[in-house]
Amino acid sequence: MTIGFGLMVLLVGITLVFSSNKDRTSASFQRQTYDSLSLAEGGIARSLSLLNGNYQALLRLSYDPINPATNKTYLGPNGISGDGDEESTAVDEWSVQSNLPPCFNPTAFTTTLLSGAIGASATHNYDLLAYRYNSASATGTLLVRGRNTENKAVTLLQQTLQIEDRLSSKPENFPGLLAKDIDLGNNDILGAVAGNVICTNTANCSVPINSSNCVSNAPTQAALRNAIGAGANGTVQGQIVVRDLNWPVLPIAPADPASDPNAEAIGSITSTRTLSPPTDSTDPYIYVVTNINLSGSQSLTINTSHRPVYLFVSGNITLSGNASFQHSNSPERFRIYGNPADNNESNDQQFVLNGGASAAHVFIYAPDADAGINGGSSNPDIYGAVWVKTWGLIGSNSNNAEISVPNNMPQLLGNPFSTIVVGNQTTNSKRWERRSQ
């Protein structure tokens, strides 16, 4: 009986030891799984931070390389891994962009966006295996792997999010100054929300890639100021953005103003004059103008009390001395349209304010014009917004020159000027799931 009782105690002890080892193994496995899951979640958060920041252009493009385990893409067109629609040819729209955002280094693409470490440990890593954009549903799907190389734990997470455009209808996105090349000098762009400067050519407004210009794969504020040539006394109260975007369609002057009851051709304006359109309608009234050249105390007064006035200018605008545009009504009611953009550098228009000249309340859209303020004395010189080919390259260094952008400018202008896509962003999460390896 003693021997039998001893054997029973021994058997119970062995069972407890095995159970304890099993529980310890299970707990260790759970910790490793949780560890890799946390790394995958951190990788998704890091990837989304970059894609919603400096790499917004990538959100509507796809990156789906070949999975070495299957010899097919990871996600396929429907954005679901292992669903059977994966392709045999890799999809890579990310590394072939022509107009790269600042601080985007194609040679370091893998280490900046496709992989990284979470925390201080070199063994805690994540990999962005694939990203698929679906234009039909306007969704983007990320497949991220979190792994601890020390204990070999791996977790794959797949998340699908809605992709939306960042439109100029929101004041924080609206370009108060828009140009393909900018040398701001000491000019001021005022407007705490809508006083934004957007340069649409990353080659002209370049940010050299180095440790002082680029932090966390995004340009510093100092680097962006250098990119637009902002001087020490130049103020930009809104954001500075260097990003390729599509300009809105430029309105075109009537082919035959004489036969249009809402238009007339008036040639060149070289002396003081008042433009007061007929009051028989509230529709915009169009003046087709060749050149505007005012000097001294000459002025062009625009009466928009009954209806908006749009000037279509085919030549140059030069205001010098104390010459001015006199218009104090809401800025969208007085608009100056220039010529369409072309690839000919020799026929660009020139819109210049010299000395103490000012242009009052106005919206200027001239995609083939070089514009700038030399001098300036009003406060502000322009109240509204200016969209031109270049700003300041013909001289615009004065500390007395200001463009003040009202916060409701996009609402005042309406379409198509309030629907410019200035970027992209992720919004609602549509699906989140763990995937098998």
Q: pLDDT (tens digit, 9 = 90+) per residue, 306-338?
A: 999 999 999 999 998 889 999 999 999 999 999
* Residue of higher predicted confidence among 319 and 152: 319
Residue 395 binned pLDDT confidence (cut-offs 50, 70, 90): low
When pLDDT is averaged across residues 142-166 and rounded to a whole number, the result is 89
If pLDDT is split at 50, 70 and 90, which confidence band does 301 have?
very high
Does the structure show a pLDDT above 70 at 431? yes
Side chain identity, residue 250: L
Asked whether the predicted pLDDT for residue 217 surpasses 90, the reply is no
Residue 225, H or E segment? helix 221-227
Question: Once rounded to an integer, what is the mean pLDDT over residues 233-242?
Answer: 94
> What count of Cα atoms within 13 Å lies in the side-chain half-sphere of residue 343?
0
Read off the pTM. 0.85
Strand positions, DSSP E, 74-174: 91-92, 115-117, 124-134, 139-148, 153-167
d(CA 261, CA 274): 19
Rounded mean pLDDT, 20-48: 69
Percent of the chain having pLDDT more than 70?
91
Mean pLDDT of 285-309: 96
CA 241 – CA 407 distance, rounded (Å): 18
Phi, psi (degrees; rounded to nearest 5) at 393? -70, -20
Confidence of residue 242 (pLDDT cuts 50, 70, 90): very high
Query: In sequence order, what are the beta bridge partners of 294?
Result: 319
Whether pLDDT at 224 is above 60? yes
Which of the two residues, 217 and 23, has the higher pLDDT score? 217
State how far the Cα of 171 lies from the Cα of 24, in Å rounded to an integer.
57
Arithmetic mean of pLDDT, 104-126: 78
| Max mean pLDDT range (25-39, 140-154, 218-232) | 218-232
Phi, psi of 57 (to 5 degrees): -60, -20
The DSSP code for 112 is I
**Residue-level pLDDT at 26:** 46
Worst-scoring range by mean pLDDT, 22-31, 225-234, 266-275, 318-327?
Answer: 22-31
Q: What distances in angstroms separate CA 310 from CA 41, 247, 285, 306, 323, one per listed residue?
A: 53, 19, 6, 13, 20
Give 22's pLDDT tier (boundaries 50, 70, 90).
very low
As a whole number of angstroms, the distance between CA 11 and CA 203 comes to 78
For residue 119, the model assigns a pLDDT of 74
Q: Residue 23: what pLDDT? A: 47
Given a cut of 70, whether residue 236 has pLDDT beyond it is: yes
Distance separating alpha carbons of residues 78 and 93, to the nearest angstrom:
16
